[in-house]
């Protein structure tokens, strides 16, 4: 019986190391997912705010694009604001400003495939009536 106990010595350390690696990888994956969602939500909010700004009476889509770039630069990085475009659409006869942001989706830290994430914010154009 004593020989059997001697054979299992050190197994707790090995098990802890194996389980620790798995738990660390899982925790890092959850943090990376949270970072990716944060970047997506921040870009979407900036695009929507830029569209609302461009939809104001007297403003243009260029004003909305500039506002979106400024918000993204303040919240994340100017690198995420490199590809921002604006246009006016008319779905169903209602003029709508659409601001689109294309950026890298963070896969490892803030690095990831270029243009892997595309979000669009919309706002109805105010009339001068």
What gap in Å lies between CA 119 and CA 94, rounded to an integer?
21
- Token pair for residue 66? 């500039």
What integer best gives the mean pLDDT of the chain? 89
Structural domain boundaries in the chain:
2-124
The residues with which 96 forms a beta bridge, in sequence order, are 89, 124
Burial of 126 per CB tally in 10 Å (0-12, 13-18, 19+): middle
**pTM for this predicted structure:** 0.83
Q: What is the tens place of the pLDDT at every residue in 36-47? A: 999 999 999 999
What phi and psi values does residue 86 have, to the nearest 5 degrees?
Answer: -135, 150
Whether pLDDT at 34 is above 90: yes
What is the share, in percent, of the chain residues with pLDDT greater than 70? 91
Asked if residue 91 has pLDDT above 90, the reply is: no
Average of pLDDT values for 11-33?
A: 92
């Amino acid at each position: 019986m004593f020989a059997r106990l001697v054979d299992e010595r050190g197994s707790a350390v090995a098990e802890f190391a194996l389980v620790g690696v798995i738990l660390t990888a899982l925790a890092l994956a959850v943090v990376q997912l949270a970072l990716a969602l944060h970047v997506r939500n921040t870009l979407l909010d900036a695009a929507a705010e830029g569209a609302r700004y461009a939809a104001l009476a007297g403003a243009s889509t260029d004003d909305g694009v500039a506002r979106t770039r400024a918000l993204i630069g303040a919240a994340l990085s100017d690198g995420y604001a490199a590809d921002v475009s604006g246009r006016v659409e008319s779905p169903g006869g209602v003029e709508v400003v659409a601001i689109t942001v294309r950026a890298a989706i963070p896969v490892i830290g803030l690095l990831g495939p270029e243009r892997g994430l595309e979000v669009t914010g919309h706002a109805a154009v105010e009339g001068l009536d």
